[in-house]
Amino acid sequence: MPVRYTAAVLTAVRTVESRELVLPALGDDDVLVRVLATGICGSDLSTFRGTHPYKTAPVVLGHELCGIVEAAGRRTDGLSVGDKVCSAAFSHCGTCPECARGAMNLCPARKNLCHLGWDGSFAEYVVLRRNMVFALGPDVDAEAGAMVEPLSIGLHAARLVTGSPVRTVAVLGSGGIGLSCVIAAKRLGMGRVVAVDLGRGKAALAASAGADGYVDAAGGAVAGVREAFPGGADVTFVAAGYAGVLDDARAVTRPGGEVVVVSYFDRPHEVSLSPFVSAELTVRFSALSTARDFTEVIGWLETGVVDPLPLVTHRFPLAEAEAAMHVLASGAAGKVLLLADREGTQR
């Protein structure tokens, strides 16, 4: 087992440095994973910008990952050295009422990766807890494996929808989570899906995710969705955090429809609630994902019914993590990955 390893450390706002770190001793429930590929999430970007609600520098970011098990503690049954794995972004306690009913995403005692000294996956190695690690088939592409975590979040959000049938869906925000909501909505048979974002740059990505249409918010998000769905969408997913997004969600959703909020927000938002009441909308909030969600998404990849690789637009070596952050911050990129293999890296 290696003792020292290289990581991309966020040392200050908008500053990432390559540092050599020392691996901690493995506990009985710990799994040491050699990182093959790791995605940059919107929460990583907000931490980079200094706007995340609780993650701050100095920190090793990264929680969307695929890697190989290099070593494991004594209480890690079901895993072997050499296994290909992915991971949740947190470790749950396993004993609270929420965990007992399978809602580990709501565990009040969960520990989050990249927080309180727990280094994330923007590194050659990452130490994880057994209850957050999921085995992948050996034929699953490492880049696709790194996208299981965001795909599971989209699936979890889609599963919260109670109305049936769902014929029309709007997804506000076409970043990694928004596109994951598109994929999940189509997999669950929700009918026609229209994705929304700023600019035409993400239209092709939305189509790759299975969206039936794309609205450039520069021309008006509400007007664009209403043109596609004159009566309003049956379900609207909120996967963006801009000011007024919840008012937009209300405006594009039909009376009696549902709004599912999956985005996190870096500041308080003022929302006009009376129109929600008048339209008798159901508003739900979706947090993270569960083991059930991971298992289903892994099945998608292992059987080939979902291929998330067309959503990847940029690949960087670990040493260029800061440049990768700036590319994602431009707003035009799709999924941005950091790869362990520096050869053949494309930008």
Query: For residue 127, what are its two tokens?
Result: 């130490």
The reported pLDDT for the residue numbered 107 is 98
Tell me, yes or no, whether 252 and 269 share the same domain.
yes
Q: How many residues does the chain have?
A: 347
Residue 299 lies in a domain: no
- Centre a 10 Å sphere on the Cβ of residue 295 and count the other Cβ atoms it contains: 12
* Domain contains 230: yes
pLDDT at residue number 331: 85
Range of the domain at 124: 4-147+308-339
pLDDT of residue 346: 39
Tokens 């007024």, residue? 244
What H or E segment, with its residue span, contains residue 37?
A: strand 30-39
Same domain? 125 vs 212 = no
Same domain, 99 and 139: yes
Alpha carbon of residue 28 to chain centroid = 28
Whether 143 and 8 share a structural domain:
yes
Q: Are residues 233 and 106 in the same domain?
A: no
Q: How many CA atoms lie within 13 A of 59 on its CB side?
A: 26
Beta-carbon contacts of 86 under 8 Å, excluding residues fewer than 6 positions away, are 65, 66, 133, 134, 136, 145, 146, 148, 149, 294, 298
Q: Is residue 130 part of a domain?
A: yes
Within this chain, do residues 235 and 256 fall inside the same structural domain, yes or no? yes
Residues contacting 25, CB < 8 A, separation 6+ = none
How high is the pLDDT of residue 2? 74
Separation CA 176–CA 314 (nearest Å): 13
Nearest by Cα to 217 from 202, 235, 236: 202
Domain count, the chain: 2
Record the tokens describing residue 95, joined without a space.
């004993």
Give the CATH number for residue 193. 3.40.50.720
What is the DSSP secondary-structure string of 111-169? Answer: EETTSTT---SSBSEEEEEGGGEEE--TTS-HHHHTTHHHHHHHHHHHHT---SS--EE
* Same structural domain, 60 and 136: yes
Average pLDDT along the chain, 347 residues, taken 10 residues at a time: 90 96 95 98 94 93 98 96 98 97 97 96 98 97 98 98 94 97 98 96 96 97 98 98 96 98 91 97 98 98 97 96 95 92 45
Residues 184 and 55 occupy one common structural domain? no
Are both 213 and 237 inside the same structural domain? yes
